[in-house]
């Protein structure tokens, strides 16, 4: 399937702003950046990359992920499974949430043919087997706890189990007739490639305890986006570290998966916002933390989206706004005092009402968690480039 053709297209950001002069936020798709991001994983990762749908489930984004060559999808709910299989019937969905709503595994298995699932306890394993009724067709991943640091947002306090408990689960899965497998997640926006090597060492210890040959290994997500304030290592460092660590498992030919979300789509989306009001060093814009900027407010998340500022001249042309940058507090459009970006944004001194701030690399966890609070809901889309 090709990307949607009903989205307005512009050759550049300047031309989009000049033509639209948008008073409401506009999401800008960059197809070439989707292709580059997908190719990194298709060429460099030693296995299959499944797109973590939760990062951005917008149809416009999904179409570009598919067009870029991604065929595996990390679907963490029945809704996501149905969304992907309806839009891309040939897609391979993996139900990678360790805790599922009762009945959702049954529907995913029977209606959509999903055979990969995750558990981290006996209760969810028993429920999964009871709902699907055919363990011989299942590949069941046991999720390990990997509280290693190195990531801005940890993902092991809610899900995962210890090597001892994981070993027992692997044995049970094998006895039940399903294919045992392992998975982990080092945390979101992981800035340390070595965290993956540490997690794979936990996998090795678990396998030693279990004495079971696993059918697959999913190393989860965590691959970072290129944000301001974060020193992001080259992706090659991650892939090389993972390859070297996998060699210690001595499991040649074993299927390997990963679950990139932001790494596949962060760079592919920009957001045009407009300054509504300036009060000294405070700016009020038309999007905020209840819209596209929710992730910036998470505890421990110290990253910001790269920004550019444009002004429109007397001839209606959008031009980069000159001037030395200085810090501004940036407020969103709602009537809530909490609707403010958590850190000052460095913007040109002369910025004022009517100017446009473009936030780049905003593809992940922006569209996915926007709300309609107070009547504001950003949902205008354009495409930049071919």
Say which CATH number the domain at 357 has.
2.40.37.10
Q: For residue 110, give its domain range.
A: 32-265
Residue 129's pLDDT is what?
98
Q: Are residues 251 and 279 in the same domain?
A: no
Average pLDDT over residues 38-47: 98
> Rounded distance, CA 63 to CA 185, Å?
26
Q: Are residues 82 and 231 in the same domain?
A: yes
Bridge partners (DSSP) listed for residue 309: 357
Residue 149's pLDDT is what?
85
Q: State what percent of residues in the chain have pLDDT above 70.
A: 99
Residue 277's pLDDT is what?
98
pLDDT > 70? residue 357 = yes
Q: Are residues 108 and 151 in the same domain?
A: yes
- What's the helix, strand, coil split of the chain in %, to 5? 35, 25, 45
pLDDT > 90? residue 386 = no
Residue 278's pLDDT is what?
98
Mean pLDDT of the chain: 96
Q: Are residues 236 and 321 in the same domain?
A: no
Q: Are residues 272 and 259 in the same domain?
A: no
Q: Among residues 265, 298, 326, which one ends one of the domains?
A: 265
Residue 24's pLDDT is what?
98
Q: Are residues 149 and 228 in the same domain?
A: yes
pLDDT tens for each residue of 241-265:
999 999 999 899 999 999 999 999 9
pLDDT tens for each residue of 51-79:
999 999 999 999 999 999 999 999 999 99
For residues 329, 333, 337, 341, the Cα torsion angle rounded to the nearest 10 degrees is -40
Burial of residue 300 (CB within 10 Å: 0-12, 13-18, 19+) is exposed
Q: Among residues 201, 234, 265, which one ends one of the domains?
A: 265
Longest dimension (CA), the chain: 75
**Does pTM top 0.85 for this prediction?**
yes
Q: Among residues 206, 239, 265, which one ends one of the domains?
A: 265
Say which CATH number the domain at 256 has.
3.20.20.10
Q: Are residues 148 and 242 in the same domain?
A: yes
Residue 4 lies in a domain: no
Residue 1 lies in a domain: no
Average pLDDT over residues 205-229: 96
Average pLDDT over residues 272-301: 97
Q: Are residues 226 and 135 in the same domain?
A: yes
Residue 2 lies in a domain: no
Q: Are residues 78 and 189 in the same domain?
A: yes
> Rounded distance, CA 381 to CA 33, Å?
16
pLDDT > 70? residue 1 = no
pLDDT tens for each residue of 130-177:
999 999 999 999 999 998 889 999 999 999 999 999 999 999 999 999
The total number of structural domains in the chain stands at 2
**Helices (H), ranges, the chain:** 13-20, 31-44, 59-67, 78-87, 104-112, 122-132, 163-176, 194-210, 235-247, 262-265
Q: State what percent of residues in the chain have pLDDT above 90.
A: 96
**5 band by pLDDT with thresholds 50, 70 and 90:** low
């Amino acid at each position: 399937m090709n990307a949607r053709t009903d989205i307005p297209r512009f050759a550049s950001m300047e031309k989009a702003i000049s033509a639209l002069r948008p008073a409401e936020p506009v999401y800008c798709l960059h197809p070439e950046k989707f292709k580059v991001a997908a190719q990194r994983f298709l060429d460099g990762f030693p296995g299959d990359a499944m797109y973590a749908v939760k990062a951005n489930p917008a149809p416009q984004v999904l179409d570009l992920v598919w067009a870029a060559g991604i065929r595996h999808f990390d679907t963490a709910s029945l809704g996501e499974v149905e969304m992907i299989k309806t839009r891309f019937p040939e897609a391979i969905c993996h139900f990678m949430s360790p805790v599922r709503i009762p009945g959702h595994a049954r529907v995913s298995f029977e209606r959509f043919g999903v055979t990969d699932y995750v558990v981290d306890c006996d209760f969810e394993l028993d429920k999964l087997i009871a709902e699907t009724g055919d363990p011989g067709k299942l590949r069941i991943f046991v999720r390990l706890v990997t509280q290693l640091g190195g990531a801005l947002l940890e993902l092991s306090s809610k899900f995962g189990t210890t090597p001892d408990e994981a070993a027992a689960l692997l044995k049970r899965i094998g006895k039940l007739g399903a294919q045992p497998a392992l998975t982990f997640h080092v945390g979101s926006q992981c800035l340390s490639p070595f965290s993956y090597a540490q997690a794979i060492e936990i996998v090795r210890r678990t396998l030693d305890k279990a004495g079971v040959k696993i059918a697959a290994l999913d190393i989860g997500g965590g691959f970072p986006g290129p944000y301001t304030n974060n020193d992001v290592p080259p992706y090659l460092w991650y892939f090389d570290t993972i390859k070297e660590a996998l060699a210690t498992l001595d499991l040649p030919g074993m299927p390997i998966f990963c679950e990139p979300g932001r790494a596949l789509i962060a760079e592919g989306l920009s957001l045009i916002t407009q300054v509504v009001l300036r009060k000294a060093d405070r700016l009020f814009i038309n999007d905020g933390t209840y819209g596209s900027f929710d992730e910036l407010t998470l505890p421990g998340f110290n990253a910001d989206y790269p920004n550019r500022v444009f002004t429109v001249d007397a001839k209606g042309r959008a031009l980069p706004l000159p001037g030395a940058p200085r810090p501004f507090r940036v407020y969103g459009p709602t009537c809530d005092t909490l609707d403010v970006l958590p850190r000052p944004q460095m913007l040109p001194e002369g910025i004022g009402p009517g100017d446009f701030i473009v936030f780049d690399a905003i593809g992940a966890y922006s569209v996915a968690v926007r709300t309609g609070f107070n009547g504001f809901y950003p949902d205008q889309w354009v495409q930049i480039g071919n």
